[in-house]
Amino acid sequence: MQLPKAGTIEIAPSVLSADFANLASEIKQVEQAGVKIIHLDVMDGHFVPNITFGPPIVAKLRKYSTLVFDTHLMITDPEKYAPRFVEAGANHITFHIEVVNKPERLIKELHNMGVTAGICLNPETPVDDIKKVAPLCDMVLVMTVHPGFGGQAFMPDAAEKIKAIRSIVGPAVRVEVDGGIDPETTPVVVSYGADTLVAGNAIFGESDRLAAIEAIRTAAK
Ligand code: DX5
Ligand code: ZN
């Protein structure tokens, strides 16, 4: 399982809005809809005011899915815990620039462990902070809500940063967007240069997941 090469639009359903008591079957449903990536939101109650799950859950889910595990670490100490998520079966690890002093080192470590690496920036974090490291990543994640919860309103100003990031990384690096993505906001972020669309509420908040994914796909065209 590897992050698809840049150049295609991919939808990455976020499990945050799924039924946590039935995660395996929830993931199966979106897998059947043809997505290649599932977005796993890891929260530590410290970097963000919410707590989700850790490596043991990822390891259990690995047995039920062949999707790319796009693991978004919203935790204060990604340097310490990233290897644990890789061992559990994560394929791609995204960490936040706000909490890592030596991002180059962590990116290299992730690559050495055989997974792809991503850097993420919060809505208030300037693009300048990731300018140097973004080209070293396989995917850059732009938050368009304050991280911590699903179902929040899309922040247009934060989305504008996608344009600058796309021009820094060029066409070979994926630019992922996370927060308030639905059929209405999708055309905006795609026009700015995003190619990987995380959607939680817009997919798992709908009873027909297939139709929900199709609606985002159509909006991205
Ligand atoms: C928020 C998470 C997101 C979240 C997005 O902190 O990083 O991945 O699930 O949810 P929606 O798509 O509902 O805004
Ligand atoms: Zn996320």
Q: Tell me what pLDDT residue 158 has.
A: 98
Q: Which of 88, 28, 25, 79 has the alpha carbon at shortest distance from 53?
A: 88
Copy the structure tokens of residue 194: 């995003």
What's the pTM?
0.98
Burial environment of residue 84 by CB neighbours within 10 A (0 to 12, 13 to 18, 19 or more): middle
Give me the tens of pLDDT residue by residue for the chain, a chain 221 residues long.
999 999 999 999 999 999 999 999 999 999 999 999 999 999 999 999 999 999 999 999 999 999 999 999 999 999 999 999 999 999 999 999 999 999 999 999 999 999 999 999 999 999 999 999 999 999 999 999 999 999 999 999 999 999 999 999 999 999 999 999 999 999 999 999 999 999 999 999 999 999 999 999 999 99
Closest ligand, as measured to the CA of 71: 2
**How far, in Å, are 25, 157, 199 from residue 170 at the CA level?**
37, 21, 24
96 Cβ inside 6 Å of ligand 1: no
Cα 178 to middle of ligand 2, angstroms: 6
Whether residue 151 contacts residue 178, with contact meaning beta carbons closer than 8 Å, is answered with no
Q: Tell me what pLDDT residue 97 has.
A: 98
Q: Tell me what pLDDT residue 61 has.
A: 98
72 Cβ inside 6 Å of ligand 1: yes
Fold of 10-219: TIM Barrel (3.20.20)
Cα 39 to middle of ligand 2, angstroms: 6
Residue of the CA atom closest to atom 4 of ligand 1: 150
Q: What are the boundaries of each domain within the chain?
A: 10-219
